[in-house]
Chain A
Amino acid sequence: MDFPSFAQLLQYIFDGLSVGAIYSLLALGLVVVYRGTGHLNFAQGEMATLCTYGVWELHDRGLPLIVALVVGAAIGFGLGAAVETTLIRPVAKKSPFAVIIVTIGLFLGINSLTNGVWGPPPEEAMPSLFPNKPDDFASIFGATWRYERIGVLLVCLALGAGLLQLFKRTRFGLAMRAVASNPESSRLVGISTSHVLMASWGIAAALGAISGTLVAGVNTSVTPGMMFSIFVYASAAATLGGLDSVGGALIAGLSIGVVENLAANIFPDWIGQSMRLAVALVIILVVLLFKPSGLFGSSKVERV
């Protein structure tokens, strides 16, 4: 192992932050759903992929990418809301375990759907939302930071901040926090829990559409399995951040991106590119063993 130079180290951190921003975005979707219903949506990544194909189709038919993304996010919202009302809610009444099975089923179903419809070549080429010509980068102390990567990070931070404001300052955010805290009392103060849950799934899927489009832009194409490993990292981020904390998911996603990138590059021989995913799994395991409520999660302590 050669110890990296300062410029190299900075480079690993920049790259890690950008890739971590993607994990954060998907993790935010997981958190929004978990807060409302206590469920982990295993199909979050695949729903994102499906929405990204939607964005690609719209863009392919001549819509500017940014417009296609906004429409795609809106479609994502509808998809999430529809999944909650038609698949999750009827099953959740019977057993929480069954919901896990349904989301795993959704994962497999959407995965084969995208493979079947768009899988075989030609590839669905996706342009980037940000400037990504070869010389579109900033040089910082010898490290390069591509504008596209900076853009991804900024989108992630902006959406995270927006989501925090939504939770903290709006009437709808208050309703979401109330439903997460005590569903029965929420109904007694006149909050329609069904609307809140529907909207939570909708918001999560819309976030997925955005993260999927960013991923495809960085990869330069949409592929059916593109969100799979990202979903694993995102679950690690959500777990590390505490599952119900927006800020926690954001910070955890970025940290995991940096840590796995540093680990893969500083120890190329025994972690390297092939073992990167193991870093995420180790993080999930360690967090669950030593701090099950995550770093920023609210432990349910109540004085009676």
Chain B
Amino acid sequence: MSGALTIEHLSAGYGQVAVLDDVSLHVGDGDLVVILGSNGAGKTTTMRAISGVIPRTGAITFNGQRIDKLSPDAIVRAGIAQVPQGRGTFPELSVLDNLRAGAYTRRDGEVAKDIDHWFEVFPRLGERSDQRAGSLSGGEQQMVAISRALMSRPKLLLCDEPSLGLAPLVTQEVMTVIARLNQETGLSVLLVEQNANLAMDVARTVYLLETGRIVASGTPTEIAGNDAIRQAYLGY
């Protein structure tokens, strides 16, 4: 199974308001791709459109299969999991139940084994497995959201601004976790960020999203080599 995602001519929005206009991009199997954009560029809308929770038009192909007409649960089953913006944990549920909910689409008998595995990877979650997720710190909640997403055994992980509202050191830690998952397990990652410096460190390919359109793409080096882009997004 491949974690390759191809998006062609994707448009999406909310009611009469169009947010995305003809977006095309590609995430190779095992790739780590970053979409860089400022507030309101359409980053979250892109993620929600891929996960199928808002109406969208265009072709989205994952693992050789068209997924743009599928329901959100079918998309999870196809192998795409999302870490939503602002973490989006189930605050009233225990950490353990958050992870169980992540495995909702699975019918195999290895859910408990996977929970043990992620509690080993994130020992702080294991120690707090009975606590309500909402009582954890922002960084810990981000780890809950990431391990919850991984509980569905995805081939592609969508991360919606994991740095939002986190202290710089914690953000660094979260980015390291995501990069390691990508390198060590071959998980494809599509990450959207407005913190360019952070994203450039981990990305293999970068797309620039401005008011709903992709305006540039390339390797981090190529993007950083473009003076206009560097000034606008990296601030130097």
Residues of B within 8 A of A175 (CB): 101, 104
In whole Å, how far is B160's beta carbon from the nearest beta carbon of chain A? 10
Does A185 have its Cβ within 8 Å of any Cβ on chain B?
Answer: yes
Q: Is the Cβ of B82 less than 8 Å from the Cβ of A178? A: no
User: How far is B97's CA from A177's CA once the two chains are assembled, in angstroms?
Assistant: 10
Q: Is the Cβ of B90 less than 8 Å from the Cβ of A190? A: no
Residues of B within 8 A of A192 (CB): 71, 73
Does A191 have its Cβ within 8 Å of any Cβ on chain B?
Answer: yes
Q: Is the Cβ of A178 less than 8 Å from the Cβ of B76? A: no
Q: Is the Cβ of A184 less than 8 Å from the Cβ of B73? A: no
Does A63 have its Cβ within 8 Å of any Cβ on chain B?
Answer: no
A174-B100, A181-B91 are known contacts. Are A189 and B135 too (CB-CB below 8 A)?
no
Mark each residue of chain B from 93 to 124: 1 if its CB lies under 8 Å from any CB of chain A, else 0. 10001001110110000000000000000000
In whole Å, how far is A168's beta carbon from the nearest beta carbon of chain B? 9
Does B53 have its Cβ within 8 Å of any Cβ on chain A?
Answer: yes
Mark each residue of chain B from 149 to 191: 1 if its CB lies under 8 Å from any CB of chain A, else 0. 1001000000000000100000000000000000000000000
Does A1 have its Cβ within 8 Å of any Cβ on chain B?
Answer: no
Interface members, chain A 275-302 (any B CB < 8 Å): 298, 300-302
Does B55 have its Cβ within 8 Å of any Cβ on chain A?
Answer: no
Question: What's the interface size class on A, roughly?
Answer: 20 to 34
Most A CB within 10 A of own CB, among B81, B100, B134:
B134
A178-B90, A302-B134 are known contacts. Are A171 and B104 too (CB-CB below 8 A)?
yes
A187-B72, A189-B76, A189-B148 are known contacts. Are A303 and B88 too (CB-CB below 8 A)?
no
User: How far is B76's CA from A185's CA once the two chains are assembled, in angstroms?
Assistant: 12
Q: Is the Cβ of B138 less than 8 Å from the Cβ of A188? A: no
Does B46 have its Cβ within 8 Å of any Cβ on chain A?
Answer: no
Q: Is the Cβ of B104 less than 8 Å from the Cβ of A190? A: yes
Residues of B within 8 A of A187 (CB): 51, 53, 72-73
Does A265 have its Cβ within 8 Å of any Cβ on chain B?
Answer: no
User: How far is B100's CA from A181's CA once the two chains are assembled, in angstroms?
Assistant: 14
Question: What's the interface size class on B, roughly?
Answer: 20 to 34
Residues of B within 8 A of A177 (CB): 90, 92-93, 97
Q: Is the Cβ of A178 less than 8 Å from the Cβ of B93? A: yes
Does B136 have its Cβ within 8 Å of any Cβ on chain A?
Answer: yes
Does A304 have its Cβ within 8 Å of any Cβ on chain B?
Answer: yes
In whole Å, how far is B154's beta carbon from the nearest beta carbon of chain A? 11
Q: Is the Cβ of A185 less than 8 Å from the Cβ of B73? A: no
Within 8 Å by CB of B134, from A184, A190, A301, lies: A301
Residues of A within 8 A of B90 (CB): 177-178, 181-182, 185-186
In whole Å, how far is B192's beta carbon from the nearest beta carbon of chain A? 15
Question: From B88, which residue of chain A is reached at the shortest CB distance?
Answer: A185
Residues of A within 8 A of B165 (CB): 304
Does B194 have its Cβ within 8 Å of any Cβ on chain A?
Answer: no
User: How far is B53's CA from A184's CA once the two chains are assembled, in angstroms?
Assistant: 8
Chain A residues near B (Cβ < 8 Å): 171, 174-175, 177-178, 180-182, 184-192, 298, 300-304
7 A-B pairs closest in CB distance: A190-B76, A190-B73, A190-B105, A181-B90, A302-B134, A185-B88, A187-B72
Can you give 6 contacting A-B residue pairs, CB < 8 Å?
A: A174-B100, A175-B101, A181-B92, A181-B93, A187-B73, A189-B81
